[in-house]
Amino acid sequence: MRYAAFLFGVFLLAALPAAAQLVDPTVTINDKFSERIDIGISTNEIAITSDFSGADITVFGAIDGADELLLATFAYDVVVALEGPRKPTTVRRKERVAGIWINRHSIQFGPIPASYSMSSTRPLADIANLMELASRDIGINNIRLVPTGSIGDGSRLTEFRDALRRIKQVGGLYQRDPTGVQFISKALFRATVRLPANIPVGQHTVRAVLYKNSQFVMEKEIPLRVVKTGLEQFIYNFAHVYSLAYGIVAVLLATLTGWLGSVIFRKD
Amino acid sequence: MTIYLPIAELSVNIFVILGMGAAVGFLSGMFGVGGGFLITPLLIFYNIPPAVAVATGANQVVASSVSGALAHFRRGTLDIKLGLVLLVGGLAGATVGIQIFSMLRRLGQLDLIISLLYVVFLGSVGGLMLWESVNSLRRAANNKPVSLRKPGQHNWVHRLPFKMRFKRSKLYLSVIPVILLGFAIGILTSVMGVGGGFIMVPAMIYLLRIPTSVVIGTSLFQIIFVTAFTTVVQATTNYSVDIVLAWLLMVAGVIGAQYGVRVGQKMRGEQLRAGLALLVLAVGIRLGFGLVLPPDEIYSVVSGSFGF
């Protein structure tokens, strides 16, 4: 049962001034080109409800000032990525010691996106060269993983990085869809990015990058907040802000449940 | 149907959680144990972060021990004075245990130590209980009298100073071993998320020679307070008590326990102990395999608060 939240927001050029009030876009532009990319989502907040089991969000966008001929020959490529909040992350490696598998080595990485969901018009390798993609942190394999603290002799660093990416992908936190961005008319595109059920809450970023004939044209970012709602939010805040009261409530609830159980089912 | 757990920060199938709670409740009602030693490993098998599983397990045990202790209190099989002395040690042990828990979490060895403790305790307690109950079953089959307690027989425990009279238990006993036992169980409560009944009950019977009739009620009585204390301290130091998860487990557990009690009453004591021993051993062996067999993934990733 997958609850899909389709958030529509078609931002045509005329609607753009209004959109600018909603979100605060961050823009990087390559001045060589005159084309511009714009994206929009209908909300800047995703709510996690108690039955949340993942969601799809749809990002709409347009290429402004696109050359008709180049559009027809698919010279433009778009990558849309939803990046989760950045968190310091530790990777640990188990080793067999006296017959038991225990965590022996660990490498800490500086803040990396806790989740990363990416869609593109084509596989990344066909869009631009590796150097270009890596310089902009585009793609699961290009997310910068900078170790902080001790890395030993450094010989294992690659293994640890690969393991981190693999585990994030297996757990659904890092995903990619090489055909997730589709042109719906000449200059208008739609991108679907998937939010996993275990999506971290916090400040996420929707990044859209435009390439023309493998050359970087422009990047635009808009923030997207993922929040717990209602009871979940209340419980989480309560547990963190009033932790003593929370603990006491947890105990009272348990006492009450246990007492009710013994009263309801009492036979003597 | 999925439900989002606000503290564990993941979505789980509500029926799996309720099923777990009911099954453990049934077994705990049948064997007269709190069930924490089953709940915590089950939650970890179901991918709940071990820190949340341990803290939430302790909270769940509060409910099942309140339920059980009330029943024993009505029947008069609860020695409050003995329980209070155990509790002194228990609270001190739980305080120390929380510090150990937080330290292990920082070192990244928490899941290893939890598994190791489970394997050692479940393995040894299960093994001893099985051996004892099989012997009783054999004696019963040969029509010889079955007795756990041999009155008049004393061991080194009874030569210790600071003796106190426990009327309900008909005992004159030093408080030192009682407090030490409570202290040890208190540590286990906070590190393993268990009530500790599965260790305390045999220790009280075989080591302190407390009459079997008051042992379960008294151990449940002190477990209420030690697990309640642990829950509060876990909530304030590690923020790892998931009240939604705990409540689902409690409700299912309390209901399951009622059916377990009925089945338990139809069985003989030795059979019950043998059954419990097999169950304890099975959980221990399952966790032991997890430590020894090569894991599918030798790497693990920690990000944010409970990522391991």
Query: Higher pLDDT residue, B184 or B308?
Result: B184
Phi, psi of B145, rounded to the nearest 5 degrees = -65, 140
The pLDDT tens digits for B192-203 are: 877 788 788 878
- With a pLDDT cut of 90, the percent of chain A lying above it is 24
Among residues 190-209 of chain A, which lie with CB inside 8 Å of chain B?
197-198, 200-201
Tell me which H or E stretch contains A230: helix A230-241
Predicted TM-score (pTM) of this structure: 0.74
Give the pLDDT confidence score for residue A189 in this predicted structure: 92
B31-47: burial string, b at 16+ Cβ within 10 Å, e else:
bbbbbbbbbbbbbbeee
Give the pLDDT confidence score for residue B209 in this predicted structure: 80
Residue in the block written with tokens 């228990």: B90
Q: Between chains, do B235 and A250 touch, taking CB under 8 Å as contact?
A: yes
Nearest alpha carbon to residue B217 among B103, B88, B70, B99: B70
Per-residue pLDDT for B297 more than 50? yes
Give the pLDDT confidence score for residue B197 in this predicted structure: 80
Q: Which residues of A touch B302 (CB under 8 A)?
A: 89-92
Q: What is the mean pLDDT of chain B?
A: 82
Q: Between chains, do A258 and B71 touch, taking CB under 8 Å as contact?
A: no
A164, A228, A232 member nearest B301 (Cβ): A164
Quick one: average pLDDT of B269-293? 83
* Alpha-carbon separation of residue A265 from B24, B35, B70 (angstroms): 17, 19, 12
Per-residue pLDDT for B303 more than 80? no
Q: Between chains, do A259 and B6 touch, taking CB under 8 Å as contact?
A: no
For every residue of B144-187, DSSP letters joined together read PPP-S--TT---GGGG-SSEEEETTTTEEEEHHHHHHHHHHHHH
Q: Between chains, do B4 and A49 touch, taking CB under 8 Å as contact?
A: yes
Give the pLDDT confidence score for residue B206 in this predicted structure: 77
Per-residue pLDDT for A21 more than 70? no
Q: Between chains, do B7 and A89 touch, taking CB under 8 Å as contact?
A: no
A88, A92, A249 member nearest B299 (Cβ): A92
CA-based nearest residue in chain B for residue A3: B2
Quick one: average pLDDT of B129-152? 71
Give the pLDDT confidence score for residue B156 in this predicted structure: 66
Max mean pLDDT among B28-42, B137-151, B230-244 falls in B230-244
Per-residue pLDDT for A133 more than 50? yes
The complex's ipTM? 0.82
The pLDDT tens digits for B148-189 are: 545 455 566 667 777 777 777 777 778 888 889 899 989 988
Q: Which residues of A touch B307 (CB under 8 A)?
A: 89
Give the whole-angstrom CA distance, residue B121 versus residue A102: 19
Per-residue pLDDT for B43 more than 50? yes
Indicate the pLDDT class of residue A24, thresholds 50, 70 and 90: low
Q: Between chains, do A247 and B231 touch, taking CB under 8 Å as contact?
A: yes
CA atoms B53, B42, A248, B88: torsion sign = negative
Residues in chain A: 268
Give the pLDDT confidence score for residue A17 in this predicted structure: 41
Q: What is the DSSP letter of A247?
A: H
- With a pLDDT cut of 90, the percent of chain B lying above it is 14
Contact A145, A158 (CB under 8 A): no
State the best of B16, B221, B245, B299 to mutate against chain A, taking most chain A CBs within 10 Å: B299
Q: Which two tokens stand for residue B264?
A: 């338990």
Q: Between chains, do B235 and A258 touch, taking CB under 8 Å as contact?
A: no
* Terminal CA-CA length for chain B: 25
Per-residue pLDDT for A268 more than 70? no
Quick one: average pLDDT of B266-291? 83
Q: Between chains, do A167 and B243 touch, taking CB under 8 Å as contact?
A: no
Quick one: average pLDDT of B46-56? 87
CA-based nearest residue in chain B for residue A94: B298
Contact A143, A110 (CB under 8 A): no
B199 burial type by CB count under 10 A (0-12 exposed, 13-18 middle, 19+ buried): buried
Per-residue pLDDT for A12 more than 90? no
Per-residue pLDDT for A234 more than 90? no
Q: Which residues of A touch B235 (CB under 8 A)?
A: 239, 243-244, 246-247, 250
CA–CA min distance A143, chain B (Å):
16
Give the pLDDT confidence score for residue B64 in this predicted structure: 86
Nearest alpha carbon to residue A93 among B232, B212, B58, B300: B300
CA-based nearest residue in chain A for residue B104: A103
Phi, psi of A197, rounded to the nearest 5 degrees = -65, -30
Q: Between chains, do A167 and B233 touch, taking CB under 8 Å as contact?
A: no
B228, B233, B301 member nearest A89 (Cβ): B301
Residue B246: other Cβ atoms inside 10 A: 31
Per-residue pLDDT for A16 more than 70? no
Contact B161, B174 (CB under 8 A): yes
The pLDDT tens digits for A83-124 are: 999 888 888 888 888 888 888 888 888 888 999 999 999 998
Max mean pLDDT among B103-107, B207-211, B253-257 falls in B253-257
CA–CA min distance A205, chain B (Å):
18
A169 burial type by CB count under 10 A (0-12 exposed, 13-18 middle, 19+ buried): middle
The answer to whether A52 contacts chain B (CB < 8 Å) is: yes
CA-based nearest residue in chain B for residue A246: B235
Quick one: average pLDDT of A188-193? 91
Q: Which residues of B touch A267 (CB under 8 A)?
A: none
The pLDDT tens digits for B75-119 are: 887 888 888 988 999 999 999 998 888 888 887 777 788 888 888
B71, B109, B293 member nearest A262 (Cβ): B71
Give the whole-angstrom CA distance, residue B75 versus residue A155: 67
The answer to whether A262 contacts chain B (CB < 8 Å) is: yes
Q: Between chains, do A262 and B63 touch, taking CB under 8 Å as contact?
A: no
Query: Higher pLDDT residue, A78 or B68?
Result: A78
List domains and CATH numbers for chain A: 13-85+112-228 (2.60.40.2550), 230-268 (no CATH)
Where do the structural domains in chain B lie, given as residue ranges?
2-145+154-292
For every residue of chain B, DSSP letters joined together read -EEEETTTTEEEEHHHHHHHHHHHHHHHHHHT---HHHHHHHHHHTT--HHHHHHHHHHHHHHHHHHHHHHHHHHT---HHHHHHHHHHHHHHHHHHHHHHHHHHHHT-HHHHHHHHHHHHHHHHHHHHHHHHHHHHHHHHTTPPP-S--TT---GGGG-SSEEEETTTTEEEEHHHHHHHHHHHHHHHHHH----HHHHHHIIIIIS---HHHHHHHHHHHHHHHHHHHHHHHHHHT----HHHHHHHHHHHHHHHHHHHHHHHTS-HHHHHHHHHHHHHHHHHHHHHHHHSPPS-SEEEEESSS--
Give the pLDDT confidence score for residue A83 in this predicted structure: 92
